[in-house]
Amino acid sequence: MIYHPTADKVTDLTIAYIGGGSRGWAWTFMTDLSMEASLGGTIRLYDINEDAARRNEIIGNHLTARPDTLGDWNYTTCSSLEDALTGADFVVISILPGTFDEMESDVHVPERLGIYQSVGDTAGPGGIIRALRTIPMFVEIAEAIKNFCPHAWVINYTNPMTLCVKTLYHVFPQIKAFGCCHEVFGTQKVLKGICEQTFGLEQLHRRDIEVNVLGINHFTWFDQASYKGIDLFPVYRKFIEEHFEDGYHDPDRNWMNSTFNCAHRVKFDLFNRFGLIAAAGDRHLAEFMPGREYLSDPDTVKSWKFGLTTVAWRKEDLKRRLARSERLAKQEEEIKLAPTGEEGILLMKALCGLGRIVSNVNIPNTSLQIPNLPAAAVVETNAVFGRDSIKPVAAGALPEKVLSLMTPHTDNHERVLKAALTFDRSLIYEAFSHDPLVEGRAKDSDIRQLADDMITNTLPYLPKEWR
């Protein structure tokens, strides 16, 4: 890495992108890199689908050659983890553990017991089984980082976020890894919109909303939120009093027109019940709560104005993205250079010494950012990013009622990690039984059978000891 102090620029960076054949996130990453003039170097793309990575190599290098591109990057495909990682300054992990066929089992097989999941990649039976096939992949990645680039900063975007980061640190405790998630940004945008409506303001940025973040990934909360010294909790409370039934509607994102959108009514309800601002999308938040509350059946989901993301939709979307990949590689379509709203590149700049930034990240609770969660837990709080350092913010303790909602999940993280490393099926039965979506919804024998069937459906991606 070469730093040019007079130009405030870092060149000759090496970034290893694990999952570099992505037909979505990779293009987001490329877009942000292309718009950043202060960074440059080499992007090594590694993917088990090497053809997909090579296509992104073509797309990335064409993007670099465009006259409107500011970032100077060379994209190259690697055939092995070792080639991708050796000497890397940054490692970006964005993989799909398995295929959408396995995800179809994760999400939809539990429906036979009346257990509905709106995402199925973090909590619930789907999140548990997805973790079971993801953890061995992250064991391999962590060992490779330890061997080939032990001083690199590692940025994870893969779900289940908490267990991915937890695995990296379990295998390589000295790793410099953190997990990035944009769910908090969405809630800042809601608060921004409410501010604009309440005070007649225009063109606020979500970063204008200062928040204290505490919780675990996809089950994060704000216990403080302000705009230029104005406490936003009374503003939020009044908005909810006036709009609880209708919800909050982003003018560009009607919940009925997209599988990923919501009217934020689950957030509003959680605020009324617990006094904190729940800071993730409603689809994620609902999965951390008892199954009879927001996800008891499709009609209940609809009444809360969010949706169940079907895997059939994801499969159709993949077809569209494959077609777009073909067009981009043939230069029949161009990537639009516009800010994506992600912060990964800003965090990299700060770690390179080009400024400081505060952002929410997923890291171990070893500094006890949240003192009433275990030190072994991976938590999501704010942290200060500077040159080669991340300083986590002491977020404070969770209120007891919110802590009681979180504890089943942090306990399950321990069970699932141990189960994945020791091939202990009984721990998976325990994790299923203690998950709030499942608990009390079926007989123990039916829950064990569900776990067995879901494990069988994902066996091709599990170590041989599970067979």
Report, as residue numbers or ranges, the catalytic residues: 182
- In whole angstroms, what is the distance from residue 236 CA to residue 252 CA? 21
Q: Report CA-CA distances (Å) from 427 to 248, 287, 415, 437, 458.
A: 40, 20, 6, 17, 17
- Residue 456's region, left for phi above 0, alpha for psi from -120 to 50, else beta, is alpha
**Cis ω for the linkage preceding 160 (within 30 of 0):** yes
- In whole angstroms, what is the distance from residue 33 CA to residue 73 CA? 8
Element (H, E) at 381: strand 378-386
* SS3 label, residue 314: helix
Q: What is the DSSP letter of 109?
A: G
- Are 354 and 3 in contact by the 8 Å Cβ rule? The answer is no
Q: What is the DSSP letter of 371?
A: T
Chain position carrying tokens 């900063």: 153
User: Cα 146 from chain centroid?
Assistant: 23
- In whole angstroms, what is the distance from residue 273 CA to residue 299 CA? 22
Write out the two tokens for 86. 């050796």
Q: What is the DSSP string of 145-180?
A: HHHH-TTSEEEE--SSHHHHHHHHHHH-TT-EEEE-
Rg of the chain, C-alpha, whole Å: 22
- In whole angstroms, what is the distance from residue 9 CA to residue 349 CA? 9
- In whole angstroms, what is the distance from residue 460 CA to residue 289 CA? 31
- In whole angstroms, what is the distance from residue 285 CA to residue 280 CA? 6
Catalogue the E-assigned strands of 94-249: 153-156, 176-179, 209-216, 219-227, 230-231
Which residues on adjacent β-strands are paired with residue 76?
44
C-alpha torsion sign, points 50, 145, 39, 186: positive
Q: Report CA-CA distances (Å) from 139 to 24, 163, 220.
A: 24, 11, 26
